[in-house]
Structure 1
Protein backbone atom coordinates (compact mmCIF):
# COMPACT_ATOMS: atom_id res chain seq x y z
CA UNK A 1 0.00 0.00 0.00
CA UNK A 2 1.11 3.51 -0.81
CA UNK A 3 -0.63 6.15 1.31
CA UNK A 4 -0.61 9.88 0.61
CA UNK A 5 -2.02 12.75 2.66
CA UNK A 6 -4.02 15.33 0.68
CA UNK A 7 -5.73 17.08 3.61
CA UNK A 8 -4.83 16.94 7.31
CA UNK A 9 -6.68 19.78 9.06
CA UNK A 10 -9.66 19.41 11.32
CA UNK A 11 -12.99 21.24 11.37
CA UNK A 12 -12.36 23.88 8.71
CA UNK A 13 -9.86 24.58 5.94
CA UNK A 14 -7.04 26.79 7.18
CA UNK A 15 -4.99 28.63 4.51
CA UNK A 16 -1.61 29.85 5.68
CA UNK A 17 -1.84 33.58 6.47
CA UNK A 18 0.37 36.48 5.41
CA UNK A 19 1.44 36.95 9.03
CA UNK A 20 2.54 33.31 9.25
CA UNK A 21 4.56 33.60 6.05
CA UNK A 22 6.17 36.79 7.34
CA UNK A 23 7.10 35.08 10.61
CA UNK A 24 8.85 32.32 8.64
CA UNK A 25 10.80 34.92 6.66
CA UNK A 26 11.82 36.73 9.85
CA UNK A 27 13.01 33.43 11.35
CA UNK A 28 15.13 32.70 8.26
CA UNK A 29 16.67 36.18 8.26
CA UNK A 30 17.48 35.85 11.97
CA UNK A 31 19.22 32.52 11.41
CA UNK A 32 21.26 33.29 8.31
CA UNK A 33 24.92 34.33 8.34
CA UNK A 34 27.39 35.48 5.69
CA UNK A 35 28.82 31.96 5.43
CA UNK A 36 25.37 30.62 4.54
CA UNK A 37 25.20 32.61 1.30
CA UNK A 38 28.80 32.56 0.08
CA UNK A 39 28.19 29.70 -2.39
CA UNK A 40 25.41 27.63 -3.93
CA UNK A 41 26.36 24.66 -1.76
CA UNK A 42 26.27 26.82 1.36
CA UNK A 43 22.84 28.15 0.45
CA UNK A 44 21.49 24.66 -0.23
CA UNK A 45 22.93 23.40 3.05
CA UNK A 46 21.40 26.29 4.97
CA UNK A 47 17.97 25.66 3.48
CA UNK A 48 18.20 21.90 4.07
CA UNK A 49 18.96 22.45 7.75
CA UNK A 50 16.13 24.87 8.46
CA UNK A 51 13.52 23.60 10.92
CA UNK A 52 10.72 21.83 9.07
CA UNK A 53 8.09 24.26 10.34
CA UNK A 54 9.97 27.12 8.64
CA UNK A 55 10.89 25.43 5.38
CA UNK A 56 7.52 23.77 4.73
CA UNK A 57 3.93 23.76 5.91
CA UNK A 58 1.53 21.25 7.43
CA UNK A 59 -1.12 22.27 4.92
CA UNK A 60 -4.55 23.77 5.35
CA UNK A 61 -6.94 21.36 3.61
CA UNK A 62 -9.45 19.23 5.49
CA UNK A 63 -9.35 15.44 5.66
CA UNK A 64 -8.46 13.40 2.61
CA UNK A 65 -6.06 10.48 2.15
CA UNK A 66 -5.37 8.31 -0.87
CA UNK A 67 -4.32 4.66 -0.87
CA UNK A 68 -2.97 2.84 -3.92
CA UNK A 69 -2.97 -0.89 -3.27
CA UNK A 70 -1.07 -3.73 -4.90
CA UNK A 71 -3.86 -4.42 -7.40
CA UNK A 72 -3.78 -0.79 -8.53
CA UNK A 73 -7.06 0.34 -6.95
CA UNK A 74 -7.42 3.98 -5.94
CA UNK A 75 -8.96 4.26 -2.50
CA UNK A 76 -9.82 7.73 -1.19
CA UNK A 77 -10.59 8.28 2.48
CA UNK A 78 -12.98 11.18 3.05
CA UNK A 79 -13.73 14.07 0.71
CA UNK A 80 -12.53 17.11 2.61
CA UNK A 81 -11.07 20.02 0.67
CA UNK A 82 -7.91 17.97 0.05
CA UNK A 83 -9.74 15.84 -2.52
CA UNK A 84 -9.68 18.74 -5.00
CA UNK A 85 -5.89 18.53 -5.38
CA UNK A 86 -6.08 14.73 -5.35
CA UNK A 87 -8.40 14.84 -8.36
CA UNK A 88 -6.19 17.23 -10.34
CA UNK A 89 -3.60 14.49 -10.87
CA UNK A 90 -6.19 12.44 -12.78
CA UNK A 91 -7.76 15.11 -15.00
CA UNK A 92 -6.52 13.49 -18.22
CA UNK A 93 -7.53 9.92 -17.37
CA UNK A 94 -10.57 8.26 -18.92
CA UNK A 95 -12.74 5.45 -17.57
CA UNK A 96 -10.98 5.49 -14.20
CA UNK A 97 -12.36 3.74 -11.11
CA UNK A 98 -12.25 5.26 -7.61
CA UNK A 99 -13.27 3.91 -4.23
CA UNK A 100 -14.40 6.66 -1.85
CA UNK A 101 -14.81 5.71 1.83
CA UNK A 102 -16.43 8.08 4.32
CA UNK A 103 -15.67 8.15 8.04
CA UNK A 104 -18.76 10.32 8.60
CA UNK A 105 -20.61 13.20 6.97
CA UNK A 106 -19.65 16.34 8.85
CA UNK A 107 -19.06 19.15 6.43
CA UNK A 108 -15.25 19.18 6.63
CA UNK A 109 -15.25 15.57 5.36
CA UNK A 110 -17.61 16.01 2.38
CA UNK A 111 -17.25 19.59 1.16
CA UNK A 112 -14.52 18.76 -1.36
CA UNK A 113 -16.56 16.23 -3.33
CA UNK A 114 -18.15 18.83 -5.67
CA UNK A 115 -14.58 19.87 -6.64
CA UNK A 116 -13.32 16.35 -7.42
CA UNK A 117 -12.87 16.77 -11.19
CA UNK A 118 -12.83 13.04 -12.14
CA UNK A 119 -16.34 12.64 -10.72
CA UNK A 120 -17.73 14.73 -13.61
CA UNK A 121 -16.22 12.52 -16.35
CA UNK A 122 -18.88 10.29 -17.95
CA UNK A 123 -16.55 7.29 -18.02
CA UNK A 124 -15.58 7.47 -14.38
CA UNK A 125 -16.84 4.82 -11.97
CA UNK A 126 -17.23 6.08 -8.41
CA UNK A 127 -17.71 3.48 -5.67
CA UNK A 128 -18.96 5.11 -2.47
CA UNK A 129 -18.81 3.24 0.85
CA UNK A 130 -20.35 4.07 4.21
CA UNK A 131 -22.03 2.55 7.24
CA UNK A 132 -24.59 5.39 7.15
CA UNK A 133 -27.79 4.31 5.34
CA UNK A 134 -28.56 7.96 4.49
CA UNK A 135 -25.26 8.59 2.72
CA UNK A 136 -26.98 9.17 -0.64
CA UNK A 137 -29.18 11.92 0.80
CA UNK A 138 -26.31 13.53 2.74
CA UNK A 139 -24.13 13.93 -0.34
CA UNK A 140 -26.95 15.04 -2.62
CA UNK A 141 -28.19 17.70 -0.21
CA UNK A 142 -24.90 19.61 -0.15
CA UNK A 143 -25.10 19.86 -3.96
CA UNK A 144 -28.48 21.58 -3.99
CA UNK A 145 -29.29 25.30 -4.30
CA UNK A 146 -28.60 27.50 -2.44
CA UNK A 147 -25.60 25.54 -1.15
CA UNK A 148 -24.03 24.69 -4.53
CA UNK A 149 -24.91 25.60 -8.11
CA UNK A 150 -24.29 22.14 -9.62
CA UNK A 151 -26.50 19.21 -8.63
CA UNK A 152 -25.19 15.73 -7.99
CA UNK A 153 -26.94 14.57 -11.16
CA UNK A 154 -24.10 16.27 -13.08
CA UNK A 155 -21.65 13.67 -11.79
CA UNK A 156 -20.90 10.41 -13.55
CA UNK A 157 -23.86 8.09 -13.86
CA UNK A 158 -21.56 5.24 -12.81
CA UNK A 159 -21.95 5.68 -9.05
CA UNK A 160 -22.11 2.45 -7.07
CA UNK A 161 -23.28 2.74 -3.47
CA UNK A 162 -21.89 0.23 -0.97
CA UNK A 163 -23.70 -0.15 2.36
CA UNK A 164 -21.08 -1.62 4.66
CA UNK A 165 -21.40 -2.83 8.25
CA UNK A 166 -19.24 -2.59 11.37
CA UNK A 167 -16.75 -5.44 11.74
CA UNK A 168 -17.86 -7.12 8.51
CA UNK A 169 -14.85 -7.42 6.17
CA UNK A 170 -15.05 -6.54 2.50
CA UNK A 171 -12.54 -6.46 -0.33
CA UNK A 172 -11.27 -3.71 -2.59
CA UNK A 173 -9.00 -5.54 -5.00
CA UNK A 174 -6.03 -6.95 -3.09
CA UNK A 175 -6.99 -5.16 0.14
CA UNK A 176 -9.26 -6.42 2.89
CA UNK A 177 -11.14 -3.64 4.69
CA UNK A 178 -13.10 -3.40 7.92
CA UNK A 179 -14.83 -0.50 9.64
CA UNK A 180 -15.49 0.15 13.32
CA UNK A 181 -17.70 2.70 15.07
CA UNK A 182 -15.87 5.23 17.28
CA UNK A 183 -17.08 7.97 19.62
CA UNK A 184 -17.80 11.31 17.94
CA UNK A 185 -20.92 13.51 18.01
CA UNK A 186 -23.11 12.05 15.27
CA UNK A 187 -20.79 9.06 14.99
CA UNK A 188 -17.61 8.33 13.06
CA UNK A 189 -16.05 5.16 11.66
CA UNK A 190 -12.43 4.05 11.65
CA UNK A 191 -11.15 1.91 8.77
CA UNK A 192 -8.66 -0.96 8.87
CA UNK A 193 -6.83 -1.93 5.66
CA UNK A 194 -4.95 -5.24 5.42
CA UNK A 195 -2.69 -6.32 2.58
CA UNK A 196 0.32 -8.66 2.43
CA UNK A 197 0.42 -8.97 6.20
CA UNK A 198 0.49 -5.17 6.69
CA UNK A 199 -2.16 -3.28 8.65
CA UNK A 200 -3.12 0.40 8.29
CA UNK A 201 -5.82 2.20 10.31
CA UNK A 202 -7.44 5.54 9.51
CA UNK A 203 -9.30 6.88 12.57
CA UNK A 204 -10.27 10.52 12.26
CA UNK A 205 -12.75 12.44 14.44
CA UNK A 206 -12.34 10.16 17.41
CA UNK A 207 -12.56 10.96 21.10
CA UNK A 208 -10.91 7.93 22.66
CA UNK A 209 -12.98 6.23 25.35
CA UNK A 210 -12.19 3.71 28.07
CA UNK A 211 -13.94 1.06 25.96
CA UNK A 212 -11.29 1.52 23.26
CA UNK A 213 -8.69 0.27 25.75
CA UNK A 214 -10.67 -2.84 26.68
CA UNK A 215 -9.05 -6.03 25.46
CA UNK A 216 -12.13 -7.51 23.84
CA UNK A 217 -11.90 -9.89 20.93
CA UNK A 218 -13.44 -7.27 18.65
CA UNK A 219 -11.02 -4.52 19.69
CA UNK A 220 -8.00 -6.78 19.44
CA UNK A 221 -8.95 -7.96 15.94
CA UNK A 222 -9.25 -4.38 14.77
CA UNK A 223 -6.46 -2.49 16.57
CA UNK A 224 -3.74 -4.84 17.79
CA UNK A 225 -0.33 -5.06 16.07
CA UNK A 226 -1.18 -2.44 13.45
CA UNK A 227 1.79 -1.11 11.50
CA UNK A 228 0.54 2.45 10.91
CA UNK A 229 -2.23 4.36 12.67
CA UNK A 230 -3.52 7.76 11.53
CA UNK A 231 -5.43 9.08 14.53
CA UNK A 232 -7.28 12.25 15.44
CA UNK A 233 -4.95 14.13 17.81
CA UNK A 234 -6.42 17.61 17.55
CA UNK A 235 -6.14 18.71 21.17
CA UNK A 236 -3.65 19.19 23.94
CA UNK A 237 -4.46 17.61 27.28
CA UNK A 238 -5.73 20.95 28.61
CA UNK A 239 -8.10 21.33 25.68
CA UNK A 240 -9.59 17.86 26.12
CA UNK A 241 -10.59 18.83 29.66
CA UNK A 242 -12.31 21.96 28.33
CA UNK A 243 -13.89 20.25 25.31
CA UNK A 244 -15.00 16.88 26.65
CA UNK A 245 -17.62 15.39 24.35
CA UNK A 246 -16.52 17.42 21.32
CA UNK A 247 -15.25 14.25 19.66
CA UNK A 248 -11.48 14.71 19.39
CA UNK A 249 -8.44 13.35 21.23
CA UNK A 250 -5.20 14.63 22.74
CA UNK A 251 -1.83 13.50 21.41
CA UNK A 252 -0.84 11.90 24.72
CA UNK A 253 -3.99 9.74 24.73
CA UNK A 254 -3.20 8.75 21.14
CA UNK A 255 0.23 7.54 22.25
CA UNK A 256 -1.24 5.66 25.22
CA UNK A 257 -3.62 3.98 22.78
CA UNK A 258 -0.80 3.04 20.39
CA UNK A 259 1.25 1.62 23.27
CA UNK A 260 -1.69 -0.43 24.55
CA UNK A 261 -2.38 -2.00 21.16
CA UNK A 262 1.26 -2.45 20.11
CA UNK A 263 1.06 -0.03 17.19
CA UNK A 264 4.44 0.90 15.75
CA UNK A 265 3.88 4.14 13.81
CA UNK A 266 1.43 6.85 14.87
CA UNK A 267 0.56 9.83 12.66
CA UNK A 268 -0.99 12.80 14.47
CA UNK A 269 -3.93 13.96 12.33
CA UNK A 270 -6.91 16.34 12.13
CA UNK A 271 -4.82 19.30 13.28
CA UNK A 272 -6.42 22.16 15.18
CA UNK A 273 -7.22 25.01 12.73
CA UNK A 274 -6.08 27.64 15.25
CA UNK A 275 -2.54 26.21 15.32
CA UNK A 276 0.20 27.38 12.98
CA UNK A 277 3.04 25.20 11.71
CA UNK A 278 5.35 26.08 14.60
CA UNK A 279 2.73 25.15 17.21
CA UNK A 280 1.99 21.81 15.54
CA UNK A 281 5.68 20.94 15.32
CA UNK A 282 6.00 21.84 19.00
CA UNK A 283 3.20 19.36 19.72
CA UNK A 284 5.12 16.74 17.71
CA UNK A 285 8.21 17.29 19.88
CA UNK A 286 6.09 16.95 23.03
CA UNK A 287 4.51 13.78 21.63
CA UNK A 288 7.91 12.29 20.82
CA UNK A 289 9.14 13.10 24.32
CA UNK A 290 6.03 11.49 25.82
CA UNK A 291 6.55 8.37 23.69
CA UNK A 292 10.14 8.13 24.92
CA UNK A 293 8.91 8.51 28.50
CA UNK A 294 6.08 5.96 28.47
CA UNK A 295 7.47 3.27 26.15
CA UNK A 296 11.08 4.07 25.34
CA UNK A 297 10.13 5.38 21.91
CA UNK A 298 8.64 2.09 20.73
CA UNK A 299 5.79 4.13 19.26
CA UNK A 300 7.31 6.30 16.52
CA UNK A 301 5.33 9.54 16.26
CA UNK A 302 4.95 11.46 12.99
CA UNK A 303 2.95 14.43 11.76
CA UNK A 304 0.36 14.03 9.05
CA UNK A 305 1.32 16.67 6.46
CA UNK A 306 -0.05 17.41 3.01
CA UNK A 307 2.06 15.62 0.40
CA UNK A 308 3.62 13.20 2.90
CA UNK A 309 3.63 9.58 1.71
CA UNK A 310 3.81 6.24 3.51
CA UNK A 311 5.03 3.12 1.73
CA UNK A 312 3.65 0.13 3.62
Structure 2
Protein backbone atom coordinates (compact mmCIF):
# COMPACT_ATOMS: atom_id res chain seq x y z
CA UNK A 1 0.00 0.00 0.00
CA UNK A 2 2.03 2.88 -1.28
CA UNK A 3 -0.23 5.67 -0.08
CA UNK A 4 -0.65 6.40 3.61
CA UNK A 5 -3.77 4.50 4.69
CA UNK A 6 -4.29 6.85 7.63
CA UNK A 7 -4.88 9.74 5.20
CA UNK A 8 -7.70 7.97 3.32
CA UNK A 9 -11.39 7.47 4.04
CA UNK A 10 -12.90 4.92 1.71
CA UNK A 11 -15.01 1.83 1.14
CA UNK A 12 -13.52 -0.89 -1.04
CA UNK A 13 -15.00 -4.13 -2.39
CA UNK A 14 -12.62 -7.10 -2.10
CA UNK A 15 -15.13 -9.91 -2.69
CA UNK A 16 -18.60 -9.65 -4.22
CA UNK A 17 -19.66 -13.20 -5.12
CA UNK A 18 -22.01 -15.45 -3.21
CA UNK A 19 -21.75 -19.16 -2.42
CA UNK A 20 -18.26 -19.96 -3.72
CA UNK A 21 -15.32 -18.26 -5.46
CA UNK A 22 -15.59 -17.97 -9.24
CA UNK A 23 -12.09 -17.27 -10.62
CA UNK A 24 -13.16 -17.58 -14.24
CA UNK A 25 -12.14 -15.38 -17.15
CA UNK A 26 -15.80 -14.70 -17.89
CA UNK A 27 -16.31 -13.32 -14.36
CA UNK A 28 -13.31 -11.02 -13.87
CA UNK A 29 -14.94 -7.67 -14.69
CA UNK A 30 -17.21 -8.16 -11.67
CA UNK A 31 -14.81 -10.35 -9.68
CA UNK A 32 -14.63 -13.89 -8.39
CA UNK A 33 -13.90 -13.63 -4.65
CA UNK A 34 -16.58 -14.14 -2.01
CA UNK A 35 -17.89 -11.52 0.39
CA UNK A 36 -15.48 -9.00 1.86
CA UNK A 37 -15.85 -5.21 2.11
CA UNK A 38 -13.29 -2.88 3.70
CA UNK A 39 -14.07 0.50 5.24
CA UNK A 40 -11.15 2.71 6.21
CA UNK A 41 -11.65 5.96 8.13
CA UNK A 42 -9.34 8.06 10.28
CA UNK A 43 -6.73 5.31 10.31
CA UNK A 44 -9.16 2.57 11.42
CA UNK A 45 -10.06 -0.45 9.28
CA UNK A 46 -13.44 -2.17 9.53
CA UNK A 47 -13.91 -5.34 7.49
CA UNK A 48 -17.35 -6.75 6.69
CA UNK A 49 -17.17 -10.53 6.23
CA UNK A 50 -14.13 -12.71 5.68
CA UNK A 51 -14.79 -14.59 2.46
CA UNK A 52 -11.95 -15.26 0.04
CA UNK A 53 -11.72 -11.51 -0.63
CA UNK A 54 -10.10 -10.96 2.77
CA UNK A 55 -6.97 -12.79 1.56
CA UNK A 56 -5.76 -10.09 -0.87
CA UNK A 57 -6.92 -7.46 1.63
CA UNK A 58 -4.68 -9.02 4.28
CA UNK A 59 -1.77 -9.07 1.87
CA UNK A 60 -2.26 -5.38 1.10
CA UNK A 61 -2.47 -4.50 4.81
CA UNK A 62 0.90 -6.19 5.30
CA UNK A 63 2.39 -3.76 2.78
CA UNK A 64 1.78 -0.66 4.92
CA UNK A 65 3.12 0.39 8.31
CA UNK A 66 0.59 2.78 9.87
CA UNK A 67 -2.21 0.37 10.82
CA UNK A 68 -1.78 -2.68 13.04
CA UNK A 69 -5.36 -3.30 14.13
CA UNK A 70 -8.60 -4.25 12.35
CA UNK A 71 -12.16 -5.12 13.29
CA UNK A 72 -13.86 -7.92 11.33
CA UNK A 73 -17.65 -8.19 11.61
CA UNK A 74 -19.21 -11.37 10.22
CA UNK A 75 -22.79 -11.61 9.04
CA UNK A 76 -22.83 -15.39 9.68
CA UNK A 77 -20.60 -18.44 9.54
CA UNK A 78 -21.33 -20.02 6.17
CA UNK A 79 -18.06 -20.91 4.48
CA UNK A 80 -18.27 -18.29 1.74
CA UNK A 81 -18.15 -15.65 4.51
CA UNK A 82 -15.34 -17.09 6.66
CA UNK A 83 -13.19 -19.13 4.27
CA UNK A 84 -10.55 -16.40 3.96
CA UNK A 85 -9.79 -16.19 7.69
CA UNK A 86 -7.33 -19.13 7.71
CA UNK A 87 -5.29 -17.21 5.09
CA UNK A 88 -5.58 -13.70 6.59
CA UNK A 89 -1.89 -12.95 7.12
CA UNK A 90 -2.20 -10.24 9.84
CA UNK A 91 -3.72 -12.86 12.18
CA UNK A 92 -0.44 -14.79 12.07
CA UNK A 93 1.83 -11.82 12.78
CA UNK A 94 2.87 -10.62 16.27
CA UNK A 95 2.13 -6.96 16.86
CA UNK A 96 -1.23 -7.04 15.10
CA UNK A 97 -4.59 -6.96 16.85
CA UNK A 98 -7.55 -8.61 15.11
CA UNK A 99 -10.96 -7.97 16.68
CA UNK A 100 -13.74 -10.33 15.62
CA UNK A 101 -17.52 -10.13 16.01
CA UNK A 102 -20.44 -12.14 14.66
CA UNK A 103 -23.70 -13.81 15.69
CA UNK A 104 -23.50 -15.58 19.03
CA UNK A 105 -24.60 -15.26 22.63
CA UNK A 106 -21.10 -14.68 23.99
CA UNK A 107 -17.50 -14.05 22.97
CA UNK A 108 -16.80 -17.72 23.70
CA UNK A 109 -19.51 -18.84 21.30
CA UNK A 110 -18.19 -16.54 18.56
CA UNK A 111 -14.69 -17.95 19.07
CA UNK A 112 -15.99 -21.53 18.87
CA UNK A 113 -17.81 -20.87 15.61
CA UNK A 114 -14.85 -19.13 13.97
CA UNK A 115 -12.30 -21.70 15.10
CA UNK A 116 -14.45 -24.65 14.00
CA UNK A 117 -13.36 -24.44 10.35
CA UNK A 118 -9.70 -24.65 11.39
CA UNK A 119 -9.97 -27.95 13.25
CA UNK A 120 -8.85 -31.36 12.03
CA UNK A 121 -9.88 -32.80 9.57
CA UNK A 122 -10.95 -29.55 7.87
CA UNK A 123 -7.69 -27.59 8.09
CA UNK A 124 -4.06 -28.45 8.95
CA UNK A 125 -3.47 -25.62 11.47
CA UNK A 126 -5.72 -24.32 14.25
CA UNK A 127 -6.43 -20.78 15.48
CA UNK A 128 -3.82 -21.35 18.18
CA UNK A 129 -1.24 -20.69 15.46
CA UNK A 130 -2.52 -17.12 15.17
CA UNK A 131 0.19 -14.97 16.77
CA UNK A 132 -1.70 -11.66 16.64
CA UNK A 133 -3.67 -10.37 19.59
CA UNK A 134 -7.05 -11.95 18.79
CA UNK A 135 -10.09 -10.52 20.58
CA UNK A 136 -13.66 -11.76 20.30
CA UNK A 137 -16.10 -8.95 21.00
CA UNK A 138 -19.64 -8.62 22.31
CA UNK A 139 -22.05 -5.79 21.59
CA UNK A 140 -23.34 -3.50 24.33
CA UNK A 141 -26.92 -2.31 23.78
CA UNK A 142 -26.76 -3.81 20.27
CA UNK A 143 -23.89 -1.52 19.35
CA UNK A 144 -20.15 -1.59 18.76
CA UNK A 145 -17.92 1.47 18.65
CA UNK A 146 -14.59 1.23 16.87
CA UNK A 147 -12.65 4.40 16.20
CA UNK A 148 -14.96 6.63 14.13
CA UNK A 149 -17.36 3.74 13.40
CA UNK A 150 -20.66 3.09 15.15
CA UNK A 151 -21.95 -0.36 14.19
CA UNK A 152 -25.41 -1.79 14.90
CA UNK A 153 -26.55 -5.27 13.99
CA UNK A 154 -30.02 -6.30 12.82
CA UNK A 155 -31.51 -9.68 11.96
CA UNK A 156 -32.08 -10.71 8.35
CA UNK A 157 -33.79 -13.70 6.70
CA UNK A 158 -31.15 -16.31 6.00
CA UNK A 159 -30.76 -19.90 7.28
CA UNK A 160 -29.23 -19.80 10.76
CA UNK A 161 -28.57 -16.69 12.81
CA UNK A 162 -27.53 -13.96 10.34
CA UNK A 163 -26.92 -10.25 10.80
CA UNK A 164 -26.97 -7.18 8.64
CA UNK A 165 -25.03 -4.13 9.81
CA UNK A 166 -25.88 -0.44 9.97
CA UNK A 167 -22.60 1.47 10.00
CA UNK A 168 -22.29 5.18 10.69
CA UNK A 169 -19.02 6.98 9.99
CA UNK A 170 -18.05 10.55 9.16
CA UNK A 171 -21.71 11.59 8.96
CA UNK A 172 -22.60 8.81 6.48
CA UNK A 173 -24.79 5.72 6.88
CA UNK A 174 -23.77 2.48 5.18
CA UNK A 175 -25.94 -0.64 5.32
CA UNK A 176 -24.31 -4.01 4.70
CA UNK A 177 -26.70 -6.96 4.27
CA UNK A 178 -24.94 -9.57 2.19
CA UNK A 179 -27.39 -12.49 2.61
CA UNK A 180 -31.07 -11.65 3.00
CA UNK A 181 -34.26 -13.07 1.48
CA UNK A 182 -36.66 -10.17 1.18
CA UNK A 183 -39.61 -12.41 0.18
CA UNK A 184 -39.08 -14.95 2.95
CA UNK A 185 -42.49 -14.32 4.54
CA UNK A 186 -44.22 -14.37 1.13
CA UNK A 187 -43.02 -17.95 0.68
CA UNK A 188 -44.40 -19.03 4.06
CA UNK A 189 -47.77 -17.45 3.31
CA UNK A 190 -47.95 -19.18 -0.07
CA UNK A 191 -47.10 -22.54 1.49
CA UNK A 192 -49.87 -22.24 4.09
CA UNK A 193 -52.50 -20.32 2.14
CA UNK A 194 -54.82 -23.37 1.83
CA UNK A 195 -54.75 -23.84 5.62
CA UNK A 196 -55.81 -20.29 6.47
CA UNK A 197 -59.22 -18.70 6.56
CA UNK A 198 -59.84 -15.10 5.45
CA UNK A 199 -59.36 -13.64 8.93
CA UNK A 200 -56.04 -15.46 9.41
CA UNK A 201 -54.86 -14.33 5.97
CA UNK A 202 -55.74 -10.71 6.77
CA UNK A 203 -53.87 -10.97 10.07
CA UNK A 204 -50.78 -12.48 8.46
CA UNK A 205 -50.82 -9.94 5.64
CA UNK A 206 -50.97 -7.14 8.22
CA UNK A 207 -48.00 -8.68 10.06
CA UNK A 208 -46.14 -8.96 6.76
CA UNK A 209 -46.69 -5.27 6.02
CA UNK A 210 -45.61 -4.33 9.55
CA UNK A 211 -42.37 -6.26 9.15
CA UNK A 212 -41.69 -4.60 5.80
CA UNK A 213 -42.19 -1.18 7.36
CA UNK A 214 -39.76 -2.03 10.17
CA UNK A 215 -37.20 -3.36 7.69
CA UNK A 216 -37.45 -0.16 5.66
CA UNK A 217 -36.95 1.95 8.79
CA UNK A 218 -33.59 0.26 9.43
CA UNK A 219 -32.21 1.29 6.05
CA UNK A 220 -34.19 4.50 5.42
CA UNK A 221 -32.21 7.29 3.72
CA UNK A 222 -28.88 5.43 3.89
CA UNK A 223 -26.08 6.80 1.73
CA UNK A 224 -24.92 3.33 0.66
CA UNK A 225 -26.89 0.07 0.67
CA UNK A 226 -24.91 -3.12 -0.07
CA UNK A 227 -27.46 -5.91 -0.42
CA UNK A 228 -27.96 -9.45 -1.62
CA UNK A 229 -29.02 -9.54 -5.30
CA UNK A 230 -28.13 -13.14 -6.00
CA UNK A 231 -30.90 -14.35 -8.33
CA UNK A 232 -32.91 -13.66 -11.44
CA UNK A 233 -36.69 -14.17 -10.98
CA UNK A 234 -36.41 -17.57 -12.72
CA UNK A 235 -33.66 -18.81 -10.40
CA UNK A 236 -35.32 -17.33 -7.32
CA UNK A 237 -38.51 -19.30 -8.03
CA UNK A 238 -36.41 -22.49 -7.98
CA UNK A 239 -34.60 -21.52 -4.77
CA UNK A 240 -37.18 -19.87 -2.54
CA UNK A 241 -36.23 -20.30 1.10
CA UNK A 242 -32.50 -20.49 0.41
CA UNK A 243 -31.98 -17.09 2.05
CA UNK A 244 -31.23 -14.89 -0.97
CA UNK A 245 -33.07 -12.22 -2.94
CA UNK A 246 -34.05 -11.63 -6.52
CA UNK A 247 -32.32 -8.49 -7.80
CA UNK A 248 -35.68 -6.93 -8.74
CA UNK A 249 -36.90 -7.09 -5.15
CA UNK A 250 -33.64 -5.60 -3.94
CA UNK A 251 -33.93 -2.65 -6.32
CA UNK A 252 -37.54 -1.91 -5.39
CA UNK A 253 -36.91 -2.32 -1.66
CA UNK A 254 -33.97 0.09 -1.78
CA UNK A 255 -35.96 2.63 -3.80
CA UNK A 256 -38.81 2.43 -1.31
CA UNK A 257 -36.34 3.32 1.46
CA UNK A 258 -34.99 6.38 -0.36
CA UNK A 259 -31.48 4.94 -0.54
CA UNK A 260 -28.93 7.20 -2.21
CA UNK A 261 -26.73 4.48 -3.76
CA UNK A 262 -27.48 0.77 -4.08
CA UNK A 263 -24.75 -1.81 -4.76
CA UNK A 264 -25.97 -5.15 -6.09
CA UNK A 265 -23.93 -7.67 -4.07
CA UNK A 266 -23.46 -11.40 -3.42
CA UNK A 267 -24.24 -12.21 -7.05
CA UNK A 268 -24.59 -15.82 -8.12
CA UNK A 269 -21.26 -17.44 -9.10
CA UNK A 270 -22.98 -19.01 -12.12
CA UNK A 271 -23.64 -15.57 -13.62
CA UNK A 272 -20.87 -14.28 -15.87
CA UNK A 273 -20.06 -10.59 -16.35
CA UNK A 274 -22.37 -10.17 -19.33
CA UNK A 275 -25.35 -11.61 -17.47
CA UNK A 276 -24.77 -9.40 -14.43
CA UNK A 277 -24.51 -6.34 -16.64
CA UNK A 278 -27.87 -7.28 -18.21
CA UNK A 279 -29.37 -7.44 -14.71
CA UNK A 280 -27.88 -4.05 -13.98
CA UNK A 281 -29.40 -2.53 -17.11
CA UNK A 282 -32.78 -3.95 -16.14
CA UNK A 283 -32.35 -2.46 -12.65
CA UNK A 284 -31.72 0.96 -14.19
CA UNK A 285 -34.89 0.55 -16.27
CA UNK A 286 -36.91 -0.30 -13.15
CA UNK A 287 -35.70 2.87 -11.48
CA UNK A 288 -36.40 4.93 -14.60
CA UNK A 289 -39.96 3.57 -14.76
CA UNK A 290 -40.40 4.39 -11.07
CA UNK A 291 -38.95 7.88 -11.63
CA UNK A 292 -36.52 7.13 -8.81
CA UNK A 293 -33.35 9.19 -8.39
CA UNK A 294 -31.53 6.34 -6.61
CA UNK A 295 -28.22 5.33 -8.18
CA UNK A 296 -27.79 1.60 -8.76
CA UNK A 297 -24.39 -0.03 -9.26
CA UNK A 298 -22.85 -3.46 -9.57
CA UNK A 299 -20.53 -4.16 -6.64
CA UNK A 300 -17.26 -4.89 -8.47
CA UNK A 301 -14.12 -6.28 -6.93
CA UNK A 302 -11.62 -3.45 -6.48
CA UNK A 303 -14.24 -0.69 -6.72
CA UNK A 304 -13.39 2.05 -4.20
CA UNK A 305 -15.74 4.74 -2.90
CA UNK A 306 -14.60 7.98 -1.27
CA UNK A 307 -16.53 8.13 2.02
CA UNK A 308 -16.33 11.90 2.13
CA UNK A 309 -17.83 12.24 -1.35
CA UNK A 310 -20.88 10.04 -0.78
Q: Same fold (TM over 0.5)?
A: yes
Contact 1:10 1:234 in 2 (8 A): yes
1:162 maps to which residue? 137
Which structure 2 residue ranges, 5 or more long, are not aligned?
A: 1-8, 186-206
Q: Deviations over 1:116-174 (max 9, x none)?
A: 11110011101111232322112111111221111110113511111237x72221111
Q: CA RMSD in A?
A: 2.1
* SS of match in other structure, 1:57: coil
Is 1:304 matched with 2:276?
Answer: no
Of 154, 162, 174 in structure 2, the residue corresponding to residue 188 of structure 1 is 162
Task: Indicate the larger mover: 237-246 or 277-286.
Answer: 237-246
Shift of 1:78: 0.6
Shift of 1:219: 4.0
Is 1:78 matched with 2:86?
Answer: no
2:24 maps to which residue? 16
Q: Distance in 1 between matches of 2:102 and 2:144?
A: 12
TM-score, structure 2 normalization: 0.82
Which structure 1 residue ranges, 5 or more long, are not aligned?
A: 21-52
* Residue correspondence of structure 1 range 209-248 to structure 2 within 5 A: 209=183, 214=210, 219=215, 221-248=217-244
Contact 1:255 1:299 in 2 (8 A): no
Is 1:89 matched with 2:84?
Answer: no
Contact 2:90 2:132 in 1 (8 A): no
Is 1:267 matched with 2:263?
Answer: yes
TM-aligned CA distance change 1:217 to 1:9, over 3 Å = closer
Is 1:176 matched with 2:150?
Answer: yes
* Residue correspondence of structure 1 range 197-208 to structure 2 within 5 A: 197-208=171-182
TM-score, structure 1 normalization: 0.82
Contact 2:255 2:292 in 1 (8 A): no
* Residue correspondence of structure 1 range 22-61 to structure 2 within 5 A: 57-61=29-33
Q: Deviations over 1:61-112 (max 9, x none)?
A: 000010002x211111111000000011122456700100000000000010
1:3 maps to which residue? 11
* SS of match in other structure, 2:288: helix
1:29 maps to which residue? none
Q: Distance in 2 between matches of 1:131 and 1:182?
A: 12
Of 140, 147, 169 in structure 1, the residue corresponding to residue 115 of structure 2 is 140
